Structure 1
């Protein structure tokens, strides 16, 4: 996996471009937000996350899809249970993953963050393959964007407390600390 600094796209992973992005207001990239997602909830390997981020989720296929099918959201990356990494939005652009959010007193985290979705739920442990890919991806992004210091890697729950709970209590923050990605 290598990052093309000119385009913000990583080579060596799958690309699945999402229309749900826009230009960063200041071009700043200084925060990394870790999320979890599964569609339908608790189901893995369905390909529905990719459809959701591309505004192609079939609303009539599941009751939950009917609730969310009109939302326009995205993340920069998705790491599936087998460790496969997909990129949806260039790192240079603003993906729509954080929603109403605040970090260190600063509102609108989408403006200055990258979003990584882990295929999973709050209630289940993530796979070894996911942690391996996450560590590799975090390291690559920190090298490319040195403003993403260890203290600026957080969960969605940290920037939207009370509204979001992901990546959840089963996310192993100590595993990232042991990899020297965060302190």
Structure 2
């Protein structure tokens, strides 16, 4: 490159830099956060292995914005629990995979992913810790979440919500909610009600649920009504009028979140009552269409 051409290139480059750095910033009132959701996962691995998987390149790369350790994990090197941030909240972490919620797909773009160290996994385990899911003869072990770990999680999520106040309570979900039939984390022992009591996420009004239970104990809703109700709440369910696998998978995910003492993917009066109580609380305008 001759000297004249080199100088010209440098002038153009410098001009571009100067123009960008001197831009006048007047903040518009017409904006909001790109972050619309919080998705909670369990790691299925100990802290050390989880940190490796979430931060190093591999043939199947995954990541999350945050990793929360477990205090009784021998691979965790500290005495006090610390929250680990792995990806900036304004960047996309690869945690959701094939996913859907409330009409949106590919949720990595609009969600913050939190991995909680917990050794839940779907393998043959001792029956005292097992749930039989969706009639698939799969036994899953779900260890209890420690109180100090959940306390740490609540603090973290409250901080996230303060930065992204437009996150709706029904958009604080588990991986199982956005990928029914494919994922079961954070599992049936995750304390969703405790989070709600701390001001995080959705839960149903028990009095309203009891009223619906009285009604559905006499007559269950039709398959089509259940499908439409699940879809209104957020799950990917088509109204086929047939009791099919997509409906069972969505019901299983719903039960994992809101009726975890029995997860079978089947409709019953209690499950229907909880579903309609949630719609009454968070989707009242759409409930009238059922």
Query: Which TM-score bucket, shorter chain as reference?
Result: 0.7 to 0.9
Q: Structure 1 residues 27 and 181, CA, compared in 2 at 3 Å: closer, same or farther?
A: closer
Higher relative helix content: 2
Provide the rounded CA distance (Å) in 2 between the counterparts of 1:107 and 1:27: 18
> Which of 29, 32, 35 is residue 38 of structure 2 equivalent to?
32
Matched, 1:52 2:41: no
SS in structure 2 at match of 1:93? coil
- RCO higher in 1 or 2 (8 Å CA, sep ≥ 6)? 1
Provide the rounded CA distance (Å) in 2 between the counterparts of 1:110 and 1:85: 21
1:31 shift after superposition:
0.2
**1:67-99 CA-partner distances (Å, limit 9, x unpaired):** xx5211100001111242111100000000000
Provide the rounded CA distance (Å) in 1 between the counterparts of 2:159 and 2:167: 11
Provide the rounded CA distance (Å) in 2 between the counterparts of 1:121 and 1:180: 26
Q: Which residue of 1 aligns with 2:83?
A: 85
8 Å contact from structure 1 (residues 79, 116) kept in 2: yes
Matched, 1:164 2:153: no
Q: CA RMSD in A?
A: 1.6
Q: Which residue of 2 aligns with 1:72?
A: 61
Provide the rounded CA distance (Å) in 2 between the counterparts of 1:107 and 1:85: 28
Matched, 1:119 2:117: yes
Q: Which residue of 1 aligns with 2:22?
A: none
Unpaired stretches in structure 1, ≥5 consecutive residues: 1-25, 57-68
SS in structure 2 at match of 1:94? coil
Higher relative strand content: 1
**Structure 1 consecutive aligned stretches of length 4 or more whose deviation exceeds 3 Å:** none
1:171 shift after superposition:
0.4
TM-score (norm 1): 0.73
Q: Structure 1 residues 38 and 151, CA, compared in 2 at 3 Å: closer, same or farther?
A: same
1:27 shift after superposition:
6.7
Unpaired stretches in structure 2, ≥5 consecutive residues: 1-31, 72-80, 121-141, 203-290
1:51 shift after superposition:
1.1
Provide the rounded CA distance (Å) in 1 between the counterparts of 2:60 and 2:89: 21
Provide the rounded CA distance (Å) in 2 between the counterparts of 1:93 and 1:110: 9
Q: Which residue of 1 aligns with 2:286?
A: none
